Amino acid sequence: MLVEEHPHSSKYNLWNRFESDLTDLLRVNPEHSLGRKYAAVELGQPVPPIHLPMPPAVVPLWAIRQVELLGA
């Protein structure tokens, strides 16, 4: 329900509930990965860094990333 209309206004109770739940989650567990991603998109907080594996010297970087995407 939050995705289609983007009700980022405090006059909507659903938005107030979402925002308070998310801030409570990050207060208790600031390293919660999904919570940090939601906070980056919806609350404008910094985007968490992405850690990608480094390939061996003989394997191109694009090949390793393609295999990672196929595995997901």
Percent of the chain with pLDDT over 70: 90
pTM of model > 0.75: no
**Cβ pair 40, 31 in contact under 8 A:** no
pLDDT in tens, 26-35: 999 999 989 9
pLDDT at 56: 84
Q: How far apart are CA 64 and CA 54, in angstroms?
A: 8
Structure tokens at 63: 């090949």
Range in 12-16, 17-21, 36-40 the model is least confident about: 12-16
Q: How far apart are CA 55 and CA 11, in angstroms?
A: 49
What stretches of 1-62 adopt beta strand conformation (E)?
none
Q: How far apart are CA 43 and CA 25, in angstroms?
A: 13
Pick the more confident residue, 10 or 2.
Answer: 10
